[in-house]
């Protein structure tokens, strides 16, 4: 795993964990994909804690892109929804570098 990815995780995962949990709870009924986004995020979190390689995270990153329609927030998305997708997109960006 790259240093940038590790730094992102240290700096952002607690907040991303909180936001992804919140939006899944609040918006999950109307946006069931958020429940999957939450599950995939938890997989990423687990793999990162186990010092997984960048390549090992590839399936989850691809799945996040698909589930979030490349991090596009729907019209009814609240600020927490927007923040979560922004942070997931930032994670993706760090992953790609």
pLDDT digits (tens, 9 = 90+) for 35-49: 999 999 999 988 988
Q: Is the pLDDT of residue 54 over 90?
A: no
The answer to whether residue 1 scores a pLDDT higher than 80 is no
Q: Are 5 and 94 in contact (CB under 8 A)?
A: yes
Share of the chain above pLDDT 70, in %: 98
- pLDDT surpassing 90 at residue 16: yes
In this prediction, residues 78-96 reach a mean pLDDT of 94
Identify the pLDDT of residue 9. Answer: 83
Q: Which of 53-57, 71-75, 85-89 has the least mean pLDDT?
A: 53-57
Return d(Cα 64, Cα 57) in angstroms, integer: 11
Domain that holds residue 39: 3-96
Task: Provide the pLDDT for residue 93.
Answer: 94
d(CA 77, CA 55): 31
| Global confidence as pTM | 0.92
Please state the domain count of the chain: 1
Of residues 4 and 56, more confidence is placed in 56
């Amino acid at each position: 795993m790259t240093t940038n990815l590790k730094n992102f995780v240290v700096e952002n995962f607690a907040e991303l964990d909180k936001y992804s949990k919140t939006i899944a709870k609040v918006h999950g009924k109307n946006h069931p994909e958020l429940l999957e986004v939450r599950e995939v995020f938890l997989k990423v979190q687990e793999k990162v804690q186990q010092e997984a390689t960048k390549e090992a995270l590839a399936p989850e990153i691809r799945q996040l892109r698909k589930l979030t329609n490349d991090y596009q927030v729907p019209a009814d998305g609240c600020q927490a929804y927007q923040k979560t997708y922004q942070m997931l997109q930032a994670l993706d960006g760090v992953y790609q570098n």
